[in-house]
Structure 1
Amino acid sequence: MSAADFSSLSEPQKEQQLTNYIKGLIMDGVRNANSGHTGGAFSSVDFAYTLFQKHLNYDPDDCRWYNRDRFVLSAGHESMLLYSLLHLQGYLDMDELKRFRQLGSKTPGHPESHLTPGVEATTGPLGQGISMAVGMALASNIAAAYLGEKVVNNYTYVICGDGDIQEPVALGSCQLAGHYGLDRLIVFYDFNKIQISGEVSRNDSTDIAQMFRAFQWNVLEIDGNDQVAVDQAIRQAKSNSGRPTIIIGHTIMARGCATMEGSEETHGSPLPHEEIAATKEKLSIPADQAFFLPTEALEFFRRRFDALRQGRKSWEQEVQQASGNAQFASLFDQFARGVVPAINFPDLNQKMATRKAFGKLLEAAADSFVAFAGGSADLEPSNNTTGFLDKVGDYTRENHRGRSIPFGVREFPMGAITNGMQLFGIKSFGATFLSFADYQRAAIRLAALQQIGTMFIYTHDSIYLGEDGPTHQPVEHIPSLRLIPNLLVLRPADGGETARAFQFALQSQRPTALCLTRQDLEPVTTTYYGSGGDFARGGYILRRENGTLGIILIATGSEVKLALDVATELENSKGCGVRVVNMPCCELFDEQPASYRDEVLPPSVARRASIEAASTSGWYKYIGLQGVAIGVDTFGESAPAKDLEKHFGLTTEMVAKSLASL
């Protein structure tokens, strides 16, 4: 079909032909890369096109406009569908579609929010996209409660597939979405009944509609390849009140293909060249032109742009008018611009557990930092988030101003939902025991990949939690978290340093994992910080050696006091100076200039040891292969903390004896 032929079509015919052109872009992109997913993108295209053409509210000139509707492609493998739509919106050049899955392109195999304009969330691992969308819808409701519904009135839309629904993280998040009554969340379930390995019926016979009704969702079932039915369903979903909506679209895998409709072979592979040629002929696309999209078709899609731009202008006027109120202006800066206000933090220079210090810091932040929300995985008293809850109240379907989020025992959904809230613009935290970080590790990884500042709070950070035993005592967790690129693992040594870690995390644009103690810790960092230390350097000299430096001890968290005591013991017994280096964040220390790192850890001093009540893995890069790593390289035991301290050799005398060979 030529451009002139397109111009002569009726409007419904133009809608269909433009949808066909999108299918052509998908086929060509996947074929050009020689990898990717065609079938699911074809079955989802009618919903996606209808949404972007008729309903999605956005600014064509600013993909980060605050009040835009959010669209999350939870079925991230269908990325060529999203990239094609982003090109129609004007956010991506055609050249980027041609570079699909190539090094350095803005069109990677799965959508990446930190990389590609218009992508709201990184959605590779299935189930997390819809979960982050729940967080976005939740954050939107909270923001609207404080800024007003004239300023925040966006919808959150999702396309998910069978794989998403099968992931438990999605089910836990959807339970919460129904419980919270997130009625501006609209999910399209592309029920094409095909997965990589074949038909979904091989592994699942769940009544999805009944399941979501039980989750308190509004459920609509339609022919998902009928654009009129899709349009009506979206309108019905937007008129729904009090419940999120799932539109179950019964679709056909690879719908529109010449001979391969319904085939699982279209899921994760390019279509054969002959199939592409035959399909293009069927869809009235020139078979001899790759990435064909006539200007007239592009202009047809963009005919809403003037109205969308006017909508943005009207919104700006609303904000400007409301900003005459100083309180609104301050809140808008927090929610829409990410400004962290001044917070009056308490003096924590006293003996206390760092989890207790965290609780006091949370309460202080609650007073002035309104764009700050989060909760605990049913561990409020243990995580010390109860005071925050008492101040700000639970978020409920009736109370959208509540900023304490009741997640229940759902660690992984909590991690993904807080990521979604963070992506929307609310500073977010989720708290649990450190031993349960494994449950949400995939969400931590996506936070790090997306370069967002989600706060992951972990209390009970070592064997010192005591009698609960090895199932609850983290051993390998801290070093394993340090392996995640771009994640900052913070383990403060006392209450005062917890305050510095907390303040750093509030301002951080990178995700942080705060590892906090159950047991009380004596204040040990005051003297150093009184002379102007900087937590942001990650590691520093806490105790300078008496005399000529001969030994360096490196410690974190609760073991810093132990290192200080051991240093005194060693100086008395060995007759050489012992330096104690506090390393609250290895990642930040590693990023310091070599000159600073060498100042703290002089290369000429080979006699070194690390002390941390965790697996010793990872410390040898600081202490060298000849150094001594003191830690816990087995699972824990169920016993009082004092007994465990002796059992694992973590007393002053036992550590000093272990270091006799230095």
Structure 2
Amino acid sequence: MTQMTDKTIAVVKGLIMDGVAKANSGHPGGAMSSADYATILFSEFLNFNPDDPKWFNRDRFILSAGHESMLLYALLHLNGFISMDDIKNFRQLDSLTPGHPEVHLTPGVEATTGPLGQGFAMTVGFAVAEAYLREKLGSDVMDHYTYVLSSDGDLQEPIALGAASLAGLWGLGKIIAYYDSNKIQLAGPTCQADCTDHKKVFEGLCWHVIEVDGHNHDEIRAAIKAGQLETSRPTLIIGNTTMAKGCATMEGSHKTHGEPLKADEIAATKEKLGLPAEDFHVAEDVLEAYRARFDGMREKADKWQALVEEKMADIDFAAIWEQVNKPRPELSIDWPEFTPGETMATRKAWGTCLDSVMDSLPTLIGGSADLDPSNQTMNFRTTYGDFAIDGYTARNLAFGVREFPMAAIMNGIQLHGGLMPFGATFLTFSDYCRNAIRMSALQELPVLYVFTHDSFWVGEDGPTHQPIEHVSSLRLIPDLIDLRPADAQETKVCLDIAMKQEKMPSAIFLTRQGLPILDPAEYPAVQDGPRKGGYVLKDCDGTPDLILIASGSEVSLALETAKLFKRKVRVVSMPSAKLFDAQPKSYKDEVLPPEVTARAAAEAGRTDYWYKYVGLEGVVLGIDHFGASAPGKTLSDKYGFTPENFAAMIREKY
């Protein structure tokens, strides 16, 4: 065992060095220091189906230290998931081996990682999903570990500790995290930037902590086994390692972090490791030994499949299994009815919608960043309880004041599969979780971000809580659906859009202040128009003389403004610029006829974005400065968000 383990690790290190050298780009040092642990984990402990990298009850492995990607690719090659040609095409265009792992590209990659700390936080989301589904489906159907490999840089990012605090609180005993403590980062020794005693910190966060020599194979095996036996706390294995372990002359050098090894160093290192001089060498006996477990794992997966089919005879199991596996576009959701003419904040409409559908969507799980009453998730929390605190079938995730961990945990839940995550906070705090939102889009994850208090109408809380640039800024993220509904009717359509997405995340922007509920009898397009992003809400006879475009709370302002003109005015509601821009040109020209150049737009945020629709000479009512602490009505008058002022701006131009 020891001799073959050493030989396998040497082969993995050889692939790391050769892959990085051929690409002339990459990070060999950390990958080599982590190779002992990762190779033992994959070859002796990790449970997966060699014929199906997406088998539902597989152990998940997340490489939070995404820069160590060649380590993961080497192991995935030994798994049979990627070819040697893939290894040789490391970091090349259209390859399955990009610079950092990408979940939608490479079989066996569980999460897109690279932005440090987020892989660790996503791991918590994976474990949340596993714990919930284990309770709902039974431990004979859902029972796997979630492993994560982290670096010094991962744990320096505060998101990791925020997520770790929740993992400890929630008692996620199926997490086994490995911290490769090689004490080197890109700029030099970690002591230049960090003095943290991670053993004390994680013990203080209610974790089970084990410290080992990360190059001692017996200690590594014992630590993994101890982590598996600890069921009430997540486990952190601190592996004290040497950067670029095994190198001929560069062990411990920070230069190996992000630079390929030179040819002479690679040659000398291969000789030291007992490898032949040839590039990309994988010995047949290594491959045979590594895959010795495969038949047993195949048999286990087959028995699992047979068990699931047998359990389908149970009506309750079949019902939840159907929900867990149902494609999102096939969901049938009965949304509530709203009374036209009444006034309701769109955040309240969201809460009403959530209350209405939460029983029929048992896979809907989520919560608020300590803003439950404000985000209208309190009734969801009261009804279903706090996850872990009230049992693992409780569906409210009490994230606390942790927006960034919240967003990354949602990504992990979605990546695991089987659940529909949502998270809520104030729009101005979307900045805290922006990079995780970007990672939602990059990973093609249909998570739902609920952002309330979407404009200066927040009022008395003042400029710290009044978003100005946030909606426009989030619209810049590719493949993120922006949803800013005009009223309760549009809110439920926007939520239906978000819930039925397959690949794109959605951010819904909701008001604190009440808005008039539109009457579908007067405005029939409100019932389906939002699905196209922008639509004609109120039209005129023939070709309009003027087009007013608005989103969210400013749609009612546009309708009132239109009444102040005697000429023909069309009012366009645009809850989603992303969805509107994706429509065929014929439809966009139908809504915004090119020959009608007299156009004005209104949104309580940055003006810049709207010139793409009204033209550079068009009129935009917006706000390009910070707000102030005062009642919302006072601020609307001060900033000109009145029908009279909007009409005056338009008359001055047209």
Offset at 1:522? Answer: 0.7
Within 5 Å, which residues of 2 pair with 1:602-617?
A: 602-617=593-608
Query: Which whole-Å CA distance do the structure 2 matches of 1:547 and 1:94 have between them?
Result: 65
Query: Which whole-Å CA distance do the structure 2 matches of 1:525 and 1:383 have between them?
Result: 25
Query: Which whole-Å CA distance do the structure 2 matches of 1:292 and 1:424 have between them?
Result: 34
Secondary structure of the equivalent of 2:237? strand
Contact 1:363 1:391 in 2 (8 A): no
Offset at 1:530? Answer: 5.8
Secondary structure of the equivalent of 1:347? coil
Amino acid in structure 2 at the alignment position of 1:163:
G
Contact 1:345 1:365 in 2 (8 A): yes
2:490 to 486, 494, 497: 497
1:56 to 39, 42, 46: 46
Question: Which structure 2 segments of 5+ residues have no match?
Answer: none
* Counterpart check, 1:371 vs 2:366: no
After superposing the two structures, state which structure 1 stretch, 110-119 or 21-30, moved more: 110-119
* Counterpart check, 1:385 vs 2:374: no
* Counterpart check, 1:599 vs 2:594: no
Offset at 1:91? Answer: 1.0
Amino acid in structure 2 at the alignment position of 1:353:
A
* Counterpart check, 1:582 vs 2:576: no
1:261 to 251, 272, 282: 251
* Counterpart check, 1:300 vs 2:289: yes
Contact 1:349 1:496 in 2 (8 A): no
1:569–1:157 Cα change, 3 Å: same
Offset at 1:549? Answer: 1.3
**Structure 1 equivalent of residue 321 of structure 2:** 332
Offset at 1:216? Answer: 0.3
Query: Which whole-Å CA distance do the structure 2 matches of 1:506 and 1:547 have between them?
Result: 37
Query: Which whole-Å CA distance do the structure 1 matches of 2:389 and 2:382 have between them?
Result: 18
**Structure 1 equivalent of residue 467 of structure 2:** 474
**Structure 2 equivalent of residue 223 of structure 1:** 213
Query: Which whole-Å CA distance do the structure 2 matches of 1:129 and 1:529 have between them?
Result: 45
Contact 1:181 1:397 in 2 (8 A): no
Within 5 Å, which residues of 2 pair with 1:147-186?
A: 147-186=137-176
**Structure 1 equivalent of residue 625 of structure 2:** 634
CA shift digits 1:57-104 (9 cap, x unpaired) = 111111111111110000000000001111111111111111111111
1:261–1:401 Cα change, 3 Å: same
* Counterpart check, 1:117 vs 2:82: no
Amino acid in structure 1 at the alignment position of 2:234:
P
**Structure 2 equivalent of residue 345 of structure 1:** 335
Secondary structure of the equivalent of 1:297? helix
* Counterpart check, 1:486 vs 2:475: no
* Counterpart check, 1:38 vs 2:31: no
CA shift digits 1:585-615 (9 cap, x unpaired) = 0001111111111111111111111100111
Within 5 Å, which residues of 2 pair with 1:440-479?
A: 440-479=433-472
Secondary structure of the equivalent of 2:105? coil
1:403–1:532 Cα change, 3 Å: closer
Secondary structure of the equivalent of 2:247? coil
Question: Which structure 1 segments of 5+ residues have no match?
Answer: 1-10
Amino acid in structure 2 at the alignment position of 1:501:
C
Amino acid in structure 1 at the alignment position of 2:274:
S
Query: Which whole-Å CA distance do the structure 1 matches of 2:325 and 2:285 have between them?
Result: 36
Query: Which whole-Å CA distance do the structure 2 matches of 1:338 and 1:547 have between them?
Result: 42
**Structure 1 equivalent of residue 90 of structure 2:** 100
**Structure 2 equivalent of residue 193 of structure 1:** 183
Contact 1:493 1:559 in 2 (8 A): yes
Query: Which whole-Å CA distance do the structure 2 matches of 1:227 and 1:389 have between them?
Result: 45
* Counterpart check, 1:511 vs 2:500: no
1:313 to 297, 302, 307: 302
* Counterpart check, 1:438 vs 2:428: no
Offset at 1:114? Answer: 1.4
Amino acid in structure 2 at the alignment position of 1:115:
L
Contact 1:341 1:368 in 2 (8 A): no
1:286–1:166 Cα change, 3 Å: same
**Structure 2 equivalent of residue 5 of structure 1:** none
1:107–1:592 Cα change, 3 Å: same
Offset at 1:532? Answer: 6.5
Query: Which whole-Å CA distance do the structure 2 matches of 1:22 and 1:597 have between them?
Result: 54
**Structure 1 equivalent of residue 550 of structure 2:** 555
Contact 1:143 1:371 in 2 (8 A): no
Compute the TM-score of the two structures, normalised by the length of structure 2: 0.97
C-alpha root-mean-square deviation of aligned residues, in Å?
1.3
Query: Which whole-Å CA distance do the structure 1 matches of 2:527 and 2:209 have between them?
Result: 59
CA shift digits 1:251-276 (9 cap, x unpaired) = 11000000000100100000011100
**Structure 2 equivalent of residue 211 of structure 1:** 201
Query: Which whole-Å CA distance do the structure 2 matches of 1:592 and 1:314 have between them?
Result: 47
**Structure 1 equivalent of residue 533 of structure 2:** 538
Query: Which whole-Å CA distance do the structure 1 matches of 2:311 and 2:493 have between them?
Result: 35
Secondary structure of the equivalent of 2:87? helix
Within 5 Å, which residues of 2 pair with 1:518-529?
A: 518-524=512-518, 526=520, 527-529=522-524
